[in-house]
Structure 1
Amino acid sequence: MSGDGTIGKACDVLDHVASFERPVRFAELLENSDFPKATLYRFLQSLTNQGMLSYDRDRQTYAPGMRLVRLAHAAWTQSSLAPIARPFLDALSQETGETVHLAQLDSSQVLYVDKRNAAQPIEMYSQAGKVGPAYCTGVGKAMLAFLDEDALNRAVSQQSYHRFTDKTLTSEKMLRADLDRIRSRGFAVDDEEHEPGIICIACPVLTSNGRMLGAISITGSTERMDFDQLEAWVPRLRRVAEQIGTEAQAWRFPETGQSSKNDRMLMT
């Protein structure tokens, strides 16, 4: 539960409703809620009155409201790398024929902001708009590796280290060792660490001053490729990441001299 008072609690309720990925009844929300029945109902009513949630009287279900959709669209346009990166993702996807992801950090987790499916699509967890772990995904580790020290320490301390596969990094020590390797070679790999049979290479999207904005990856299946084939795309992936970083810096995240610590924290 959030510690940010009424606003934080309301955001928790919004997250809870959205987590079902379908319209949801009050009883379902109450079953897994930290709030008492009356408190949960009061938040749902307030959020519905504000247009942040919608309520279907016939089905008696709650779902994200149109006001939230408008805010999400504004955030996607103004704060996301996706509009800037779109032509670069299109070109990379067409060239490689593999799945391409674009991600940013959201509260020390990976937020997938855009995706291009492979010519021969494969089933995987990631979808645009979904949140995933940072410590065991290529894009997540690529972003963590290039955070400043304060932001990195904060993000590393918030990882869950749940074991998804036999190859998942399950401790801070293991993760930090891998992040050192990533900084040294300039790209990250996911060797079936999040999902069996899914491998990827990822590069950070950085400004010219090294500020981390996001990450981009190429993802494949072990059923039809190995790491040697995938890593052959690293030079191309690195160039695309640099192009997105340059474009983003010029149009969305311009450098205005030396940023303050607070500015850096906000941007990461």
Structure 2
Amino acid sequence: MNIQTDTSTVTGRDGSDGTVGKALGVLDRVAAFGRPVRFTELLEVSPFPKATLYRLLQTLTKQGMLGFDPERGTYVPGLRLVRMAHAAWAQSSLAPIARSHLDRLSRAVGETVHLAQLDGGHVLYVDKRNAVRPVPMYSEAGKIGPAYCTGVGKAMLAFLPEAEREAALVQQSWHRFTPNTLTDADAMRAELDVIRTEGNAFDREEHEPGIHCIAMPVLSQGGRVLGAVSVTSSTDRGTLENLKRHLPHLRQAVDRIAGEVRDWRFPDQTEG
């Protein structure tokens, strides 16, 4: 995804829950830059007046949720936030459970492997294994991406209950990243029906030119969507048909991850 900051993923969160919502929105925007950011840059993308934004930044800095460099005048995510993120990664993500299975899948296919979960209708990449010959791409662990034009996103959307799927579709930006990006909700619903039938999804250069992938959801015994795994490569290295030969390895990986989840209670899960 060739953009400076993906602030579309935080749109709608600012201020929805009073002061707490506003503060979280500011944290989202600081993190979205992916680098130290100045107050003037944040003000350009913030829905808040200058005084409100400054007050929120001061509070977040005092609480250790943001770090401030007085010499450069820049903000970065704070160490307290890092500690919380580490705890969340260990307790709330599939990454610790899936680690060995991603390693095995990576060795078997030799391509880039992603593990993702849904976060408010968007894709949160929680782990990644690079290919034997790495390919530059947007996705990295900890980054947020769109669900409607990524393989992992579509794999998860397809298996959501209807009401949850519709709620997630409403949150999509429908931005056209490439000529192949689907920007119509009805067309996406039709593709999600096919994905649900076939059990796997494809990204046909829909998010980044020259990047394609195959993906499958990680489902609990009761069919609940826990995450998704993808095998990703570049069109320079082969066609989508070439990638399809990895489907057996991919299915084995998601089945093994799901099997381990039976002995690990997902935070808001009440079934196996």
TM above 0.5? yes
Mapped pair 1:231 → 2:244:
yes
* Within-5 A mapping of 1:21-170: 21-170=34-183
Q: How many residues align?
A: 258
Counterpart secondary structure, 1:202? strand
Residue number in structure 1 paired with 2:217 = 204
* Within-5 A mapping of 1:174-253: 174-253=187-266
* Equivalent position amino acid for 2:26 in 1: V
* Equivalent position amino acid for 2:64 in 1: G
Cα offset, 1:60, TM superposition: 2.0
Residue number in structure 2 paired with 1:265 = none
* Equivalent position amino acid for 2:197 in 1: S
8 Å Cα contact 2:222/2:271 also seen in 1: no
For residues 89 and 240 of structure 1, what CA distance do their matches in structure 2 show?
Answer: 7
Cα offset, 1:28, TM superposition: 2.1
Q: How far does the alpha carbon of each residue in 1:164-220 deviate from its partner, in whole angstroms, 9 at most, with x for none? A: 111111101110111011011100011111111111100000011101100000011
For residues 252 and 117 of structure 1, what CA distance do their matches in structure 2 show?
Answer: 29
The 1:26–1:240 alpha-carbon spacing in structure 2 relative to 1, beyond 3 Å, is same
Q: Which moved more, 1:153-162 or 1:132-141?
A: 153-162
TM-score normalised by structure 1 residue count: 0.93
For residues 229 and 87 of structure 1, what CA distance do their matches in structure 2 show?
Answer: 25
The 1:251–1:195 alpha-carbon spacing in structure 2 relative to 1, beyond 3 Å, is same
> Cα RMSD between the aligned structures?
1.4
Cα offset, 1:225, TM superposition: 1.1
Gaps of 5+ in 1: 259-268
Counterpart secondary structure, 2:262? helix
Cα offset, 1:131, TM superposition: 0.7
Show structure 1 runs of 4+ deviating over 4 A.
Answer: 254-258
Residue number in structure 2 paired with 1:266 = none
Report percent identity of matched pairs.
63
Gaps of 5+ in 2: 1-13
* Equivalent position amino acid for 2:132 in 1: A
For residues 55 and 114 of structure 1, what CA distance do their matches in structure 2 show?
Answer: 28
Q: How far does the alpha carbon of each residue in 1:231-265 deviate from its partner, in whole angstroms, 9 at most, with x for none? A: 1111221111011111123123296459xxxxxxx
> Which of 154, 168, 173 is 2:186 aligned to?
173
* Equivalent position amino acid for 2:198 in 1: R
Q: Which moved more, 1:3-12 or 1:243-252?
A: 243-252
TM-score normalised by structure 2 residue count: 0.91
Q: How far does the alpha carbon of each residue in 1:67-125 deviate from its partner, in whole angstroms, 9 at most, with x for none? A: 10011001100000011100001111111100000000011001111000100111111
